[in-house]
A = this chain, B = another copy of it.
Amino acid sequence: MARKSMRAEIVGAALEQFHIRGYNAAGVKDITDAAGTPKGSFYNHFDSKEALAVVALEHYGAGLRMEDLADGEVEPLTRLRRHFEFLRDETVRHGFTRGCLIGNFGAEIADRSDVIRTAVHQSFQQWTALIAATLTEARRAGSVRPDLDPEATARFLLGAWEGTLVVARADRSASAFDSFFTVAFGTLLVRGDEHTGT
């Protein structure tokens, strides 16, 4: 029980340290210090920082509320928009820092660690599938343009979201978020003649 709790504390601290500092800048000692555990205890719980990063990424993914994308009670386009609004609000709350841990690992470390690259790849795939299912439903409901390819558009939209986070952090402003919502929901997903200018 005590061991389990120490492991959970390390994972929570790692998630936060990786998110704030990045993978390479967050050392094992930074993580165990933040967790309030002795550095020596780390390797009782994890084989490597790399292995911890994969667990931290799973925990991060569980906090993205991806399940909201599958909530049949809410109109598909509305829940897609709310999903990105929730993620935007998280970044705004942190003063336009941190962004998405999946994308950060993808940019910083995926080239150099096959273990982390695979975890990032799988996270993006799961996320893309949920967005694609939402878009398929929206197309069936006639609320997006009928020529939309849900799979390709989902992949595109997730890429657009990840890049938007990077630009918003560089700008320290919401203007990239504003463009994302305006263009994704006001242009990309609707026919030209349906555009209402909102």
Contact = CB atoms under 8 A, between A and B. Distances in A.
Interface of A: 20-22, 24-25, 97-99, 103-104, 106-112, 117, 120-121, 124, 145-149, 151-153, 155-156, 158-164, 166-167, 169-172, 175-176, 178-180, 182-184, 187-188, 190-195, 197
For the residues of A in contact with B, the DSSP-based class is: helix
Given A120-B170, A152-B182, A163-B159, A188 B191 contact: no
A128 to B, nearest CB: 8
A114 B120 CA distance: 27
B183 A188 contact: yes
Given A121-B172, A162-B163, 10 more contacts: A24-B24, A124-B167, A147-B195, A147-B197, A152-B182, A152-B183, A155-B167, A156-B183, A190-B192, A192-B192
